[in-house]
Structure 1
Amino acid sequence: MLYSLARPLLFSLAPERAHELTLSLLKSCQKIGMMRQPVAAKPVTCMGIEFPNPVGLAAGLDKNGAYIDALAALGFGFIEIGTVTPRPQSGNPQPRLFRIPGARAIINRMGFNNEGVDQLVENVKAARFKGILGINIGKNADTSVEDAVADYLLCLEKVYHYASYITVNISSPNTKNLRSLQSGHALTELLRTLRKRQLELAAEYQHYVPLVLKVAPDLTGQDIEFIASQLIQFNIDGLIVTNTTLSREGVENLPFADESGGLSGAPVFEKSTWCLAEFSQHLKGTVPLIGVGGILSGEQAAAKQQAGASLVQLYSGMIYTGPELIKDCVNAMI
């Protein structure tokens, strides 16, 4: 209700400014106890973790983990922060975020703008949140794809002690050549190396933190079959399906549709859900799936579950519908 009143004002601002203002307001309201959305308990055990409900926040909204407590008050079953890189980076030049209200869509080319992994860790340590926290890791823009594994290893090591699970983001379209890590020898080497280090860290900390891969929706059936085989081979703990799409299907001829970057929101729902169902068919329950992409209603969250997802994540849909979407999704899921 409150969000429906605030949305016209927020949509009158530049998208990135509205994003920053919304997070600041949420944090202020949470600090004085004005914001808490009660959500039904609906526990789900996935990756060896018990989630209080199956609806989480996707990475990208809180890149630096600076708003964890405020976002947790909205009723999410889990929060994922990042993408974070080893060193701070400013991302791509502004403007780099575009709303397409006619399609309930967003295009972004943010480019992993963040304050670096050390700052993220400090923010996590300062948060009071004791729930399920995913940390999404990536590589710096000026790190070559050939040297990318070193960036992921560094981030894995630094966040391991503070994460409930760690997501390896190789699917953003806004870091040059990043998606090449989804195929062939590059994926094999990345997963082999990270899995080996994960097990070493588990022994070191006497605590196992699941490792999750996040993939793009712009995959062929052959791509999906290969990635699924690699997940099984290296015993990866989970898969997030999917990131944003390079397709412009569903936004043709609308303002900003020709902007470069990844498309999210309603138009990506069918493509991402198809990928989810395909992965489910290949993996046959051996790797838990997290469905994300185009969820704007409880019914769509339930559809992700029916396609094979154990959990779902929201982001763009909340920009159009508000935080009540969280409650709607929890209520609609089994």
Structure 2
Amino acid sequence: MAYRNDLKQLEFDLASATGPLVRLFDVETSHKMGILAAKLGFFPRETRPDPPSLRTTVWGREFPNPLGVAAGFDKDAEVVEPLLGLGFGFVEVGSITPLPQPGNPKPRAFRLPEFGAVINRYGFNSEGLDAARERLAAFRRRQAEQGAAFPGGMLGVNLGKNKTSEDAAADYSTGVTKLGEFADYLVINISSPNTPGLRSLQGRQELETLVRSVKQTRDGMKWDARGPPPLLVKIAPDLTEADMSDIASVALEQGVDGLIVSNTTITRPGAIAEHPLGKETGGLSGRPLFEMATEVLREMYTLTGGRLPIVGVGGVSSGADAYAKIRAGASLVELYSAFAFEGPRLVPRVKRELAALLEKDGFASVADAVGTDHRQKAAASVASAMAAAAK
């Protein structure tokens, strides 16, 4: 079976061995070093096949496995190919804003290693659509030229708005116009806590207007035989029940193709609140986010009746975490913070563990396991009702 402990695995382990040294630097410098390492070819390339159980089809697109890189790592679409080469099933670049912007003042990212967590307030630092368009066009050219020799996997493009923009719909629509042709799916990111007013777009009326406008732009463009890329909305974990109900209703009514659940949280759960860095403003990611994000995922799956594919993200650092997201209703799973802490060897480990859990529970594929917790809960409720009626 794939991912055995061989020379290829040694490549991944060695590539991760520099992690402690890199993390002696601040978060943002470490991140830039990681991007540079990928550019210079220091990331290993996965040649071992994924287990067949990990292959999955979502939106009519075939993913070699359900594990992806969340937006935020490759903000400007600089290293898509090396990331896919690590064995990720997909890479989501961004958030990319229409015009270049520097983001918030530094320092703006803080590492809490004892919690496996990061707090950031980057604020959509972006080189803009034109720079990303040039890189993604080159990426697609290389893919066409190399064919089967090119790393497999899908490309998601996460779109943001400029901080000073007063017309969010225009910003997102411009992103669709300039980058849509390169994307296997598109994301409207309205959930970052670091751009003033952005999360207010999650309100029912604001979301309806935004989705309608962006979807109209996408549907008015010319596409190949596959049709337009699916349009997803990325939401926050800090939502009330009413918020989630409104988002689910709008997503279904307006024909959104999927949801990404979730972005970082502005809360500081447990001991994070007492940590010296806990009072830094920004979004918290990593292990402490897992339970909150998974609970929102579970609720959104219920509210949408399982009719919308969901990308589960937030606190994933193991195959068990990925499996929990899938059972809660995720068709695909993303990670970022754990990758920053552990390095390339995390990728084959998570896939190996996930494949083992699927096999253990008798699932032939990821798709078979999606939403299992809900089905089991429903079956238990029916059995309980029948037992009560029989008394």
Q: What's the TM-score bracket when you normalise by the shorter of the two chains?
A: over 0.9
Out of 175-184 and 39-48, give the one that drifted further: 39-48
CA contact under 8 A between 1:136 and 1:168: conserved in structure 2?
yes
Return the match for 1:70 from 57, 68, 82: 82
Where do 1:159-198 residues align within 5 Å? Answer: 159-198=179-218
What are the Cα deviations for residues 148-191 of structure 1, in whole angstroms up to 9, with x where unaligned?
Answer: 11111111111111111100000000000100000121111001
The letter for the 2-side match of 1:297 is S
In the TM superposition, residue 29 of structure 1 has moved relative to its aligned partner by 2.1
Contact conserved, 2:15 with 2:44, CA < 8 A, in 1? no
Aligned residue for 2:127, secondary structure, equals: coil
Offset, 1:235? 1.2
Instruction: Tell me, in whole angstroms, the C-alpha distance in 1 between the residues paired with 2:15 and 2:262.
Output: 27
> Which is higher, the Rg of structure 1 or of structure 2?
2
Match of 1:18 in 2: 30
Equivalent position of 1:139 in the other structure: 161
1:56 aligned residue: 68
Amino acid at match of 1:231: A
Work out whether 1:278 is the aligned partner of 2:299: yes
Aligned-pair CA distance for 1:125 = 1.3
Contact 1:55 1:76 in 2 (8 A): yes
Q: Does 1:240 align with 2:249?
A: no
In 2: Cα distance, 1:204 partner to 1:317 partner: 36
Residue 40 of structure 1 corresponds to 50
One-letter amino acid matched to 1:298: G
How far residue 323 of structure 1 moved from its aligned partner, in angstroms, is: 2.1
CA distance in 1, matches of 2:234, 2:36: 28
Q: Give the letter for the 2:163 counterpart.
A: A
Is the 2:108–2:121 contact (alpha carbons within 8 Å) kept by the matching residues of 1? yes
CA RMSD in angstroms comes to 1.5
Structure 2 Cα separation of the partners of residues 264 and 284 of structure 1? 27
Distance 1:47 1:235 in 2: 13
* Corresponding position: 1:223 with 2:243: yes
CA distance in 2, matches of 1:163, 1:134: 6
Q: Give the Cα–Cα distance (whole angstroms) in 2 for the partners of residues 19 and 100 of structure 1.
A: 15
CA distance in 2, matches of 1:328, 1:80: 20
For these two proteins, the number of residue pairs brought into alignment is 328
From 339, 348, 351, the equivalent of 1:330 is 351
Once the two structures are TM-superposed, the CA of residue 221 in structure 1 deviates from its matched residue by 1.4
Give the 5 Å matches for 1:124-135.
124-127=136-139, 128-129=142-143, 131-135=153-157
Compute the displacement of 1:204 (Å). 5.5
In the alignment, the residues of structure 2 paired with residue 307 and residue 171 of structure 1 have an alpha-carbon distance, to the nearest angstrom, of: 21
Unaligned runs of 5+ in 2: 1-12, 144-149, 359-391
Q: Is the 8 A contact 1:302 1:329 kept in 2?
A: no
Asked if 1 retains the 8 angstrom alpha-carbon contact of 2:202 and 2:247, the reply is: yes
Q: Structure 1 residue 329: deviation in Å?
A: 2.5
Could you tell me how far apart the structure 2 residues matched to 1:107 and 1:289 are? 24
Q: Which letter does structure 2 place at the counterpart of 1:275?
A: V
Q: Secondary structure at the match of 2:78?
A: coil
**Is contact 1:55-1:330 (8 Å) kept?**
yes
CA distance in 1, matches of 2:268, 2:15: 28
Q: Do structure 1's residue 252 and structure 2's residue 252 form an aligned pair?
A: no
**Alignment CA distance shift 1:215-1:39 (3 Å):** farther
Structure 1 residue aligned with 2:312: 291
Residues 298, 325 of structure 1: 8 Å contact kept: no
Q: Distance in 1 between matches of 2:194 and 2:334?
A: 20
C-alpha contact 1:100 1:255 (8 A) present in aligned 2:
no
Q: Which amino acid aligns with 1:139?
A: K
Deviation at 1:321, TM superposition (A): 2.2
1:92 to 67, 88, 104: 104
Which blocks of at least 5 consecutive residues in structure 1 are unaligned? Answer: none
- Aligned to 2:40, what secondary structure does the other structure show? helix
**Counterpart Cα distance in 2 of 1:287 and 1:249:** 29
